[in-house]
Amino acid sequence: MENTTTVKKILIIEDEVILLDLLTKKLSREGYEVKTAQNGKEGMLMMAKEVPDLVLTDIVMPEKNGFAVIAEMKQS
């Protein structure tokens, strides 16, 4: 039987660069394809281009907070 496992994509939306880098490195080492955005607006644009399997979002961010991101995700 052929191994058909696909790499799962995770989008991390986080405005704190240190935390964003830490999460990106850890999840990449675990075998995930990680995409990043530094605010909610950028995160929503990224979701339109790259359909992630999982989104990890901060709540308090500039331009669009995490609650607004989640609400917009539910509508689409």
Sequence spans of domains, the chain:
9-75
Prediction pTM value: 0.89
Q: Is the pLDDT of residue 1 over 90?
A: no
- What DSSP string describes 12-69? EE-S-HHHHHHHHHHHHHTT-EEEEESSHHHHHHHHHHS--SEEEE-SS-SSS-HHHH
Tell me the β-bridge partners of 72. none
Confidence label for 5 from pLDDT (cuts 50, 70 and 90): confident
Q: Is 9-75 in CATH node 3.40.50.300? A: no
